[in-house]
Structure 1
């Protein structure tokens, strides 16, 4: 599978002692993905060239554009994804006219009573790296873990936000209950990223990185537990601590 995410490129390695040599390295693939809503182009995303249906569905949900029940069908044609909607629900604006940076007028609240044992979070560390990342050092990852620490979905992408969109899309397409899973992410967590997870109904987000202050404030308001610096020996819980059973 990693070979589908990568492509070889020649390079010249220069060492500090003056030696130089020709080599070949694997780089992560990126491609433009065009999203169409009812025949009209909505946006173009730049992402890894796999799981495009999941990307489209997850993006629409995490950006608050459509709910899953408003999607009538999804077809992938090359690097184009065509989404059919149940018309008459509400007007859909292209993304160029929408607020940036995760801004939203509607208050988002995660309606879930899920509580996770610390062991389930520590066990998730095993899923934080992928073979693609080891080969390229140029990808992000998102994963969904259940209360027992079992992996439900793991997806790699060149963009941290794309990886989140893809696991959310995969969860809806596979009918996975997001309210009873937590999400692992390799990326930092500004408000924009936290809001994506909250819109999908995910009650806890854990990252090996550190969140931004905007991410912490967004998580507080959304009833979402935000965990940073997840390590084998410890973690930092920033918001809604009651979701981690002590």
Structure 2
């Protein structure tokens, strides 16, 4: 295994079974889980189960999609300990916390929130015209050159794009984390989120739609399917929601 992948995957023994009953011993490269505790202004805020890749982007993106920050200017510093299992975030403002423990019920990685900040109400997104060429160009490129998915098929992939141009690609065992990583990348690199679209491999439940609206991104595209609640919420807040996006067709549920 190359050094680039030593923290993301692990080679484990596997027994391969064939229809004729034959079994062959071998090894499989399996994606690893990483536990990350996030402190905000010295107070425990999150325990994230994630892929150990683009962690700074993950933290910044989560702060944005949870409504804790508006922009990168709200962050004074993000510091990681030696083994990157704890991140200390210092903000340029005080946060009012509610002393409650909340679970992210639809997050497939079992993330936990120890202190939930007071979140401003979601704002309706401005209208956004989407050219079909942009969407179908992304369907052709989706998943190409993904360093973890190519080796394990065990992570979600998310692309950040602007007018059909791919700006950043993230991978994570959690589809919510993958979205947060591209949001964080945009924040930390001065990219206007209201000019972008997101293309994700994951299903689109209502909390995923809420996350994208909170980030101010007007277009969400997925290879997978939405829920009835997510379609209704997308329509209410002006989010363009395109699902079952493949090179030959896609389905527009809102926008």
Q: TM-score, normalising length from structure 1?
A: 0.88
CA distance in 2 between counterparts of 1:99 and 1:137 reads 24
CA distance in 2 between counterparts of 1:99 and 1:159 reads 12
Deviations, residues 133-184 of structure 1 (Å, cap 9, x unaligned): 232121001111111x110111111110000011001110011111111100
Higher helix proportion = 1
Deviations, residues 175-217 of structure 1 (Å, cap 9, x unaligned): 1111111100000111100110110100000001111111101
* Equivalent position to 2:131, from 106, 117, 121: 117
- After superposition, residues 10-21 of structure 1 pair within 5 angstroms as 10-21=13-24
Aligned length: 237
Gapped regions of structure 2 (runs ≥ 5): 108-117
CA distance in 1 between counterparts of 2:6 and 2:235 reads 40
Gapped regions of structure 1 (runs ≥ 5): 241-246
Deviations, residues 100-140 of structure 1 (Å, cap 9, x unaligned): 669x9854224434322100000011332234223212100
Matched, 1:173 2:188: yes
RMSD of the alignment, in Å?
2.2
Matched, 1:96 2:101: yes
Q: Secondary structure at the match of 1:53?
A: helix
Q: Secondary structure at the match of 2:148?
A: helix
Aligned residue in 1 for 2:156: 140
Q: TM-score, normalising length from structure 2?
A: 0.86
Aligned residue in 2 for 1:244: none
Aligned residue in 2 for 1:217: 232
Higher strand proportion = 2
Q: Secondary structure at the match of 1:155?
A: strand
Q: Secondary structure at the match of 1:230?
A: strand
- After superposition, residues 18-167 of structure 1 pair within 5 angstroms as 18-68=21-71, 69-77=73-81, 78-88=84-94, 90-93=95-98, 96-97=101-102, 107-129=121-143, 130-147=146-163, 149-167=164-182
Runs (4+) of structure 1 exceeding 4 A deviation are: 1-4, 97-102, 104-107
